[in-house]
């Protein structure tokens, strides 16, 4: 069931998650990356549509979405993930007319006749990453200026011409290769920042070299790049490990949070219960998808009614406003823990929105993954238990930090 796509690793990463991404793919996974990579090559560095790849997999007797769900991913921190395809976190909602793009890792996994081209392209992007790191580290801004450092495709091609390649690689400093680099860099975590192309050919472009690129210093291979990503995208440690002793813990936890809020807000309540029945429903289990979203909607409506005063964040859901407000009133050492708790609650809101609005499903899929839930969800009873536990822990963190400043 495995292919020889990746071969023996040059250096086994110490990070187990990185090793999981770099290990040989299953036969079905290999077909997916080879179909996408082959089309990308034949179509002059244009990514194929989901519809095309799905049809190719149908001809091999496999469901594309089911195979995509088997690809490993790393990440979770700030809802960022990384795997062989840039669309892996959104497979539940991707439509037939969307492009399927390989990440740098995915291209590295390409096998057969694609392998030499794929490995050359990956090596070039890693080399250009070093070029970005050097540019950023050597940049000295004007004390009164706002211009950020940039790198252009012309600079990259000039750099390519200075490199020594094995074999006949003259096209690696061509305009068409510049298009290839743009397509590969666009969705990579390390190159996130402002960039633009002169026209649709993508052969002439400029890229802002952001501060975060400094985190990739000394990365010289795909193995080192993936290992660095596993560190940078690692989910934050669990706020607390706790088992819910009773279904009533969620309403009780909300009540205790309200009491702590009153201690720091001139006896004003956080909770504004338009519908006490909704809060009472949080004590019940969920035996179906419909019941899950009924319970989650009740929880999110309760949070929407939080009486949060205007702070540094004045708009949006009450959970979003609360983050700005608590940053204003809590000491800096509490911010990380509180932000992580509020991120959990924001993920719950995103999941609820995804269940009600089709255009919110991408964000909902990412939020499910941030809660460590594999898609598609099949056990809605277990999903509600998990959501309830995560909400309790988050509310308790907020309560503890509010009590700490009220002493």
pLDDT at 2: 39
pLDDT at 173: 66
Contact 150, 141 (CB under 8 A): no
Beta strands 195-197 and 150-152 are: unpaired
Q: How many residues does the chain have?
A: 407
Distance of CA 238 to the CA centre of its chain: 17
Bridge partner residues of 10 (DSSP): none
Contact 84, 33 (CB under 8 A): yes
Tokens of 104: 């740098």
pLDDT at 6: 36
Tokens of 142: 């004007």
Give the E-state strand segments of 210-360 in sequence order: none
Higher pLDDT, 376 or 245: 376
Residue-wise pLDDT tens digits, 306-340: 888 876 555 667 888 898 888 888 888 888 889 88
- In angstroms, the CA 234 to CA 97 distance is 31
103 — pLDDT class (breaks 50, 70, 90): very high
Residue-wise pLDDT tens digits, 292-313: 999 999 999 889 888 888 765 5
89 — pLDDT class (breaks 50, 70, 90): low
Contact 255, 354 (CB under 8 A): no
Residue whose C-alpha is closest to residue 217's, from 81, 139, 126: 126
pLDDT at 96: 84
379 — pLDDT class (breaks 50, 70, 90): confident
Bridge partner residues of 293 (DSSP): none
- How many CA atoms, within 13 angstroms, populate the side-chain half-sphere of residue 375? 23
- In angstroms, the CA 308 to CA 79 distance is 25
Contact 24, 33 (CB under 8 A): no
Tokens of 375: 């898609």
Bridge partner residues of 30 (DSSP): none
Task: Specify the DSSP element, H or E, that contains 208.
Answer: strand 205-208
Phi, psi (5° rounding) for residue 346?
Answer: -65, -35
7 — pLDDT class (breaks 50, 70, 90): very low
Contact 283, 299 (CB under 8 A): no
Mean pLDDT score of the chain? 83
Please state the pTM of the whole predicted model.
0.61
For residue 26, what is the DSSP state?
B
Gyration radius of the chain over CA positions:
24
In angstroms, the Cα distances linking 133 to 187, 210, 211, 321 are 18, 9, 9, 36
Task: Specify the DSSP element, H or E, that contains 366.
Answer: helix 361-370
pLDDT at 151: 94
Higher pLDDT, 355 or 217: 217
Contact 358, 331 (CB under 8 A): no
Residue-wise pLDDT tens digits, 227-241: 999 888 876 554 444
Bridge partner residues of 85 (DSSP): 102
pLDDT at 159: 84
């Amino acid at each position: 069931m495995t292919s020889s796509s990746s071969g023996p690793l040059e250096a086994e990463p110490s990070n187990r998650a990185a090793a999981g991404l770099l290990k040989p793919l299953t036969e079905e996974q290999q077909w997916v990356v080879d179909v996408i990579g082959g089309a990308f090559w034949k179509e002059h560095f244009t990514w194929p549509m989901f519809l095309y790849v799905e049809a190719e997999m149908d001809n091999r007797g496999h469901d594309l979405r089911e195979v995509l769900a088997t690809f490993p991913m790393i990440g979770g921190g700030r809802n960022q993930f990384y795997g062989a395809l840039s669309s892996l976190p959104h497979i539940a909602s991707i439509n037939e007319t969307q492009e399927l793009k390989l990440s740098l890792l995915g291209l590295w996994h390409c096998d057969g006749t694609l392998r030499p081209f794929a490995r050359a392209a990956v090596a070039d992007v890693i080399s250009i990453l070093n070029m970005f790191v050097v540019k950023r580290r050597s940049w000295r801004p004007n004390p009164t200026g706002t211009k950020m450092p940039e790198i252009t495709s012309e600079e990259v091609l000039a750099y390519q011409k200075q490199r020594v390649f094995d074999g006949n690689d003259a096209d690696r400093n061509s305009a068409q290769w510049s298009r290839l680099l743009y397509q590969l860099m666009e969705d990579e975590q390390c190159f996130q920042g402002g960039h633009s192309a002169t026209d649709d050919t993508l052969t002439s472009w400029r890229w802002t070299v952001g501060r975060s690129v400094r985190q990739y210093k000394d990365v010289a291979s795909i193995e080192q790049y993936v290992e660095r990503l596993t560190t940078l995208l690692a989910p934050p440690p669990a706020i607390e490990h706790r088992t819910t002793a009773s279904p009533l813990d969620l309403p009780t936890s909300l009540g205790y949070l309200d009491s702590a809020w009153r201690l720091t807000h001139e006896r004003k309540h956080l909770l504004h219960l338009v519908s006490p029945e909704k809060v009472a429903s949080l004590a019940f289990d969920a035996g179906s998808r419909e019941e899950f979203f009924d319970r989650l909607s009740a929880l999110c409506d309760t949070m929407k009614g939080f009486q949060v005063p205007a702070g540094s964040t004045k708009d949006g859901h009450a959970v979003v406003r609360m983050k700005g407000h608590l940053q204003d009133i809590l000491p800096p050492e509490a911010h990380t823990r509180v932000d992580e708790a509020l991120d959990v609650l924001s993920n719950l809101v995103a999941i609820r929105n995804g269940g009600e609005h089709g255009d919110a499903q991408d964000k909902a899929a990412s939020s499910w993954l941030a809660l460590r839930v594999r898609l598609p969800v099949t056990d809605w009873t277990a999903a509600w238990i998990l959501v309830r536990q995560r909400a309790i822990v988050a509310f308790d963190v907020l309560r503890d930090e509010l009590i700490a400043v009220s002493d």
